[in-house]
Amino acid sequence: MFAKLKEKYRYSLILLRELVRTDFKVKYQDSALGYLWSALRPLFLFAVMYIAFVKVMRVGADIDHWPVALLLGLVLWQFFGDIAKGNLKSIVSHGGLLRKLKFPRYIIVISSSVSALITLAINIVVVAVFAVINQLPFTPNLLLVIPVILLVFVFGLGVAFFLSAIYVKFRDIEHIWDIFMQGLFYGSAIIFPMSLVLRINGIGTLLAQILLMNPVSMAIQEIRHFAVNPVIPSLSSIAGENWWLMALPLVITVLFFVAGVFFFKKRSPNFAEDV
């Protein structure tokens, strides 16, 4: 059975490999620093946020290893952004290929997402080095990072299927998405601890629970809790007796992915003509 499946999807796998290789090379083509930009992008943003929020405003100053948690949050956010925004124009930019070859259109979206996964791997190495410098102890809890990253990947892929299909007909979605992402960034407790939200009188816990319904925000908090500092609140501690809240981010991820695949598949037969 495995051999039959491998033979059936052999062409698709070869095409996926070549698209991933090409996408990653073209991204940094003719760049003086090349692949180093993969690590420098979050580091530059981290430097600005660290000076402005940690050093000047003293945000997170009472939490051990908060700079590591901040950098990790920025890296995971960039990972999600690379999958979603990176796929926004993926179908349109491969219009020539769509008109020449017959192949599953979803390969294009998956290839760009795998490229984002490679960038994340590079950034994780940078975070690990920064963690060593900050004398952060490594524990077996680090293994929990893998399923959380997988959750972000699947959620981002679902969003990417939607965005790439919509962009073919509606180009304004790029500007709408940029505005949405900017608001979501500041509303996901990435540059400030979730404990600050919990301190808001009357609505702190409810607001934190709402923010953590976003799978990316939840993933960042969970990784910070297990891999950086257990003092950082996780969804399980914030949900309290409302155990069902812990399942919502996973349900949202699955729904987005399934709906994204269905929407993309429905629109894909017209991609070659529309682009």
Radius of gyration of the chain (CA): 20
CA-to-CA distance for 167 and 275, rounded, in angstroms?
10
How high is the pLDDT of residue 34?
A: 60
| Cβ neighbours for 29, distance < 8 A, ≥ 6 positions apart | none
In the chain, where are the structural domains located? Answer: 14-274
CA-to-CA distance for 109 and 18, rounded, in angstroms?
13
For 52, the token pair is 């402005």
How high is the pLDDT of residue 29?
A: 64
CA-to-CA distance for 156 and 215, rounded, in angstroms?
9
How high is the pLDDT of residue 28?
A: 65
| Cβ neighbours for 7, distance < 8 A, ≥ 6 positions apart | none
CA-to-CA distance for 258 and 252, rounded, in angstroms?
10
pLDDT by residue for the chain (275 residues), tens digit each?
555 555 556 777 777 788 888 777 777 666 656 667 777 778 888 888 888 888 888 888 888 899 999 999 999 999 999 999 888 988 998 888 888 877 788 898 999 898 889 889 888 988 998 899 889 888 888 888 899 999 999 999 999 999 999 999 888 999 999 999 988 888 888 888 898 898 888 888 889 999 899 999 999 999 999 889 889 988 888 887 787 888 999 999 999 999 999 999 999 888 877 66
How high is the pLDDT of residue 41?
A: 78
Sign of the CA dihedral with 239 first, then 252, 145, and 70 last: negative
pTM greater than 0.75: yes
Please check whether residue 73 is in contact with residue 224, taking contact to mean a CB–CB distance below 8 angstroms: yes
Long-range Cβ contacts of 6-15 (<8 Å, 24+ apart): 11/103, 12/103, 12/104, 12/107, 15/103, 15/107
